[in-house]
Amino acid sequence: MPGLAARVEGMIAALGENRGLISDTIVDALRAVPRHLFVPPVGVALTDTGPELIDQANDPEAWWTAVYGTAAIVTQLDGGATDIGDAEGRYTSSNSAPETVVDLLELLNPQPQHRTLEVGTGTGWTAALLSHLVGEAARVTSIEIDPAIAGQAAKNLATAGVRPRLIVGDGAAGWAAGAPYDRVHVTCGVHTVPYAWIEQSRPGAVIVAPYSPGFDTDQSLRLVVRPDGTAIGRFPGYTSYMMMRSQGATPCDPDDGSGKRFAIRVDPRTIAYAPAGAGLVMSALTGLRTRVSDEAGFVLYLVDPGDAGQWAAAVHRSDTEHMVYELGDRRLWEEVADAYFRWVSWGEPGLDRFGMTVTPEGQRLWLDTPERAIGPCRSAVS
């Protein structure tokens, strides 16, 4: 069985192969903060071949291999309502995939002494890495919304001998008492950037968050705070995290039979699996989110996060015709299809051409320059 040092070096080498060069400071942090101190004895590793239950007592080698592998390890199901040993349920907390952790830390680029806020403590591993990177754990504040998860993270961090400030609460409100921050590191997905993070940061601060517009592809968002209290940035890559709890699944009213039914010629999969640039545009123009069900035929759901009474289901039927069932006053399918074809008419711009500005009023997507704003200013849906 390989020793700990060999396992850590194996993980670092695999990360290097998968994503290319890693900064020396981040490699040092990965060596200094062993991941196994932040993984529970039983978890669900999200491997390339699917979810795999890992149980240290039953199969220690499989557990160690997963811990020093590259997969995310789920540590909580259904907010704790389902036992992790069941291995099936909604993923509500995890020790993130090392590659994703490194990607976001590279974007964040924390420097010694930076006052740093982390949103989503999870197992505490990232908080420990951040503490190492800024050189002083007292400069790191990490917020976790789930008290049980936060309690375990505190124990993990104490075992590792790292003591950042840990807060139990809703990270959407930031943590004003620790402000002003130089870095804000978000480890749960958002579709709306809470202004509190900008308000609590100093000019020049960097905010990194997984951005989930509610269409097929999730991106990383890197914002820089400006002296006028706004923030601006771009989407430097792809990343996917479980959603921030206040911005999670959108409810839909039950079908009361009052909806309209009509045929469409656009294959709903064209919208469902549209490239990242199209997803950003459809989200910004319509404010809608999507969900896909592939269990009994393909269905694309369009949902209005602000109104459970507005939703549509676009059903893939045959090679030539598909059906939409739409509930509520809005013409959801038409809105989304129009937005998609607007993106097509602009030459199908890719992710690298988009950016975002966040102000106290909300967020605005733009193409190429902030002057080419797309859609209205959108604020958090409560």
Ligand X SMILES: C[S@@+](CC[C@H](N)C(=O)[O-])C[C@H]1O[C@@H](n2cnc3c(N)ncnc32)[C@H](O)[C@@H]1O
Q: Which residues bind ligand X (CB under 6 A)?
A: 92-96, 119-120, 122-123, 125-126, 143-146, 149, 170-172, 187-188, 241-242, 244-246
Shortest distance, position 318 Cβ to ligand X, whole Å = 40
Q: Which is nearer to ligand X, 96 or 290 (CB)?
A: 96
- Checking DSSP bridges between strand 354-359 and strand 231-238, what pairing results, if any? antiparallel
CB-based burial, 91-110: b 16+ in 10 Å, e otherwise: ebbbbbbbbbbbbbbbbbeb
The Cα 218–Cα 206 span in angstroms is 19
For the record, the structure tokens of 258 come out as 């009052």
Q: Which is nearer to ligand X, 169 or 350 (CB)?
A: 169
Which of 363, 305, 310, 367 lies closest to 334 in space, CA to CA? 310
Shortest distance, position 244 Cβ to ligand X, whole Å = 4
142 is catalytic: no
Q: Which is nearer to ligand X, 241 or 311 (CB)?
A: 241
* DSSP tag of 246: G
Shortest distance, position 108 Cβ to ligand X, whole Å = 12
Distance of CA 269 to the CA centre of its chain: 23
Instruction: Identify the sign of the CA torsion 214, 187, 244, 65.
Output: positive
Sheet of 373-378: strand order equals 165-168, 140-144, 116-119, 181-186, 201-211, 219-225, 231-238, 354-359, 362-367, 373-378
Q: 230 CB contacts (<8 Å, ≥6 apart)?
A: 198, 357, 358, 359
Catalytic choice (96, 131, 212, 220): 96
Shortest distance, position 89 Cβ to ligand X, whole Å = 14
CA angle 29, 33, 36 (to 5 degrees): 140
For the record, the structure tokens of 304 come out as 């209005």
Q: Which is nearer to ligand X, 141 or 290 (CB)?
A: 141
Q: 343 CB contacts (<8 Å, ≥6 apart)?
A: 274, 277, 278, 281, 282, 349
Shortest distance, position 195 Cβ to ligand X, whole Å = 15
Shortest distance, position 382 Cβ to ligand X, whole Å = 13
Positions annotated as catalytic residues are 96
